[in-house]
Amino acid sequence: MRSRPKLTLLALLLLLGLAPAAEEKRLAIYTPQTSFTIPVVDHESTEYVSITDLLDPFGRASLTRDGKRWRLRLEAGKTLQVDFNEGSPEAKVGNRKLNFGKPFWAQNQRGYVPLSSSALLLTQFIGGSANLREAARRLFLGDAVTTYSADLQKGAPPKLVLHFSAPVNPTVATDSGHVRFTFIREPLVGATTNPQNYDDASVHSLAFAENNGASDLTVNTSAPVLVTFSDSNRTITLSPTPVVAQLAQPPKPAQPTANPTTPPATTTPATTPQPATSATVSTAAPPRFLVIIDPAHGGEDPGAALGGGLFEKDVTLAIARRVRTDLDQRGITAILLREGDTTLAVEQRAASANGSRASLYIVIHADSQGSGVRLFTARFSSPVTIPDHGFLPWNTAQAKYLDQSHNLAASLITEFESRQVHAMPLESGIRPLRNLTKPALAIEVAPPAGTIEGLTSAIYQQSVASAIGTGIANIRSSLEGGNPR
């Protein structure tokens, strides 16, 4: 593991004096065509928004000053204008007067109106209806609304299926007993019944909330869940993690053979895709130590074209299968996030791994350029404040586990070098590393000597798998027990 520079006393004191920054206030504006957010500022105990920020997405907004009088113009097919007087709550639109309740004010050539008047201002310029949810800082224009319904399907396992009236792309955060979906760009509104309670041992309730230009759906559970997206992101399904079933009755490990050139895994992808939710859940408890292996790409995402008709998704699956077999032979339970040629979104991969409560996660990539193996840990562009409790932010969740990820990388590098496979530690913002709530690595495998034939060699793939398996086994004791929570 690479050494880290020591903090000077002054730097340490500065860090100790830093307090977590308050979340920036924002107003979300939803239209039938798009959505966007703008900053909200406080002025004399009132929340304000910039009028040019509010109107620019609808045309070309400009604000000019003449003494204490300000003229707002919007060019959007036709030119519209409103006149303001600094310090006055009244504005003039042609011969009509509007009262915004609180005074208009300006700073640095920017004019501000009360957040509470944003709907009134927009209707003057773009017409139609506007619905401001001031407490949540969300503004809906016209018929820009996304609704949802929830259906708890009993069974083994039960499934909570969320149906949306339009495609959604929320961030997903997991905590003990909770899965939270945060919608920033979607005009999602609550259901008639909120919260929705369920008479189920695994899925207890679903609650909608909105605040600061976003909305949340929080599912309360008593078991880890698998989250999958389908129907062009119009459906989200949550079910107690199916990996428990695979753990309860793991596949029998392949018997080692005297000839290392004929291991059980091949570079031929499965002919029938197997969806991530196809397993039947057992009531057996998950094991204490579990490794998630993620063969990168798959299905409609072939990954890199490696030459000779070979795609990255096929090589990653072949190597992942070898790693699983190696770990099984060491008595370490491992599962693959995809068993066949299945398409999985990055969010699905992260949500599935986080919900599994595994002890660590590795994703396998392949590259025809260069040689050896590159091990990536997550990189963050700025320092990350790690919360003491509660939800971990989706885009920086890995920060809490980064030291463990570095230790894991160091253990694997030692094993690769002992097998004469050059290994290089690197950092990357590659997803889903930053979203993982457990030690996590991306392992990119290149040919042993720069030739594509070496990348598909059974001997080379087995050497890579053995190094990964041994490196994990050597660090198991420090990771025993799973994720720190």
Give residue 7's pLDDT band: very low, low, confident or very high (50, 70, 90).
very low
Least confident of 12-21, 134-143, 186-195, 239-248: 12-21
pLDDT tens per residue, range 49-68: 998 888 888 878 788 888 77
Global pTM reads: 0.52
Say how far apart CA 351 and CA 355 lie, in whole Å: 6
- Where do we find the tokens 């830093």? 18
| pLDDT for residue 222 | 84
CATH code of 26-141, in short, is: 3.30.457.10
Query: What's the rounded mean pLDDT across residues 222-243?
Result: 76
Neighbour count for residue 261 (Cβ, 10 Å): 9
Cα of 242 vs its chain's centroid, Å: 20
Instruction: Provide Rg for the chain, Cα atoms.
Output: 27
- 385-430 pLDDT, tens digit per residue, is 777 666 677 788 889 899 999 999 999 999 999 999 999 999 888 7
Instruction: Identify whether the C-beta of residue 332 lies closer than 8 Å to the C-beta of residue 473.
Output: yes
Give the residue from 345, 84, 60 showing the smallest Cα distance to 231. 345
**pLDDT value at position 34?**
84
- 82-118 pLDDT, tens digit each: 888 888 999 888 778 889 899 999 888 888 999 999 9
Judged against a pLDDT cut of 70, whether residue 195 lies above it is answered with: yes
E strand or H helix at 78: strand 78-85
Of these ranges, 168-177, 236-245, 315-324, the one predicted with the greatest mean pLDDT is: 315-324
Superfamily of domain 243-479: Zn-dependent exopeptidases (3.40.630.40)
CA distance 455 to 449: 9
Q: What pLDDT band is residue 483 in, cutting at 50, 70 and 90?
A: very low
pLDDT band at residue 78 using 50, 70 and 90 as cut-offs: low
Would you tell me how many other CB atoms lie within 10 Å of the CB of residue 255? 7
The residue ranking higher by pLDDT, 123 or 164, is 164
The model's confidence at residue 369, banded by pLDDT at 50, 70 and 90, is confident
Note the pLDDT tens digit of each residue in 128-186.
889 999 999 999 998 899 999 999 998 877 899 999 999 888 877 777 678 889 998 89
* Residues 6 or more apart in contact with residue 70 via CB below 8 angstroms: 63, 64, 83, 84, 85, 86, 104, 106, 111
Give 409's DSSP letter: H
- 343 or 406, higher pLDDT: 406
pLDDT of residue 461: 93
Helix (H, G, I), strand (E, B) or coil at 1: coil
For the chain, give the percent of residues with pLDDT over 90. 38
Inform me whether the pLDDT recorded for 249 exceeds 50.
no
User: pLDDT tens digits for 262-313?
Assistant: 344 333 333 333 333 322 223 334 456 899 999 999 888 898 888 778 899 9
CATH number of the 148-240 domain: 2.60.40.3470
Residue 93 sits at the vertex; the CA angle it makes with 88 and 97, to the nearest 5 degrees, is: 50
Strands 69-76 and 78-85: antiparallel
Mean residue pLDDT of the chain comes to 80
Q: Could you tell me whether strands 333-336 and 360-366 are parallel, antiparallel, or unpaired per DSSP bridges?
A: unpaired
Q: Where are the domains of the chain?
A: 26-141, 148-240, 243-479
**Whether the predicted pLDDT of 260 surpasses 70:** no
Mean pLDDT of 74-81: 70
Residue type, 44: E
Nearest-angstrom CA–CA distance, 35 and 11: 41
Q: DSSP letter string over 328-388? A: HHTT-EEEES-SSS----HHHHHHHHHHTT-SEEEEEEE-SSSSSEEEEEE--SS--PPPS
